[in-house]
Amino acid sequence: MGLETYDPKDIEVSVAGLLITGFAQELVKVSREANIVDDEVGCQGEVARWINNDKRGLITVTLLQTSKSNLALTALAKADEFTGTGVFPVTIRDTRGKDIHIAPQAWIRKIPDSTYKAGIETRVWELRCANLQSVIGGA
């Protein structure tokens, strides 16, 4: 069995066709809103399961406050706020491994909170997804 290697430089995040840069230590987090399968138990202990068709998700992108990508994401958020045209595709992939996450329809939930103090702070962007699909493939 070989030794596998992960490098955070190999993570690509594309939002509306723009390659995002300037990540903080926690680059990106991808979360599905609901379980794939849920279950219910009756009063006599019978269990039934059902396929949950809720494919919504949340992608959290954490950037340094100095990242130029903050301006691009702000522009997308403002376009949505003023014109309702802020829906875009998002792709996250590990170029060295096999992980990939695709959201054909995503939007920015809100402009991130901003903190200013000595040192570099982060900007945490939340992107909601209507149909988040993921393949967790490893190295």
Burial tier of 15 (Cβ tally within 10 Å: 0-12, 13-18, 19+) = buried
Give residue 100's pLDDT. 97
CATH number at residue 123: 2.40.30
Give residue 5's pLDDT. 87
Domain count, the chain: 1
Give residue 4's pLDDT. 86
Dihedral pair phi/psi, residue 43, rounded to 5°: -70, -15
Ranges of the chain whose pLDDT falls below 50: none
In a domain, 1, yes or no: no
Q: Which residues pair with 30 in a beta bridge?
A: 59
Give residue 34's pLDDT. 96
Give residue 104's pLDDT. 98
- Domain hosting 118: range is 8-135
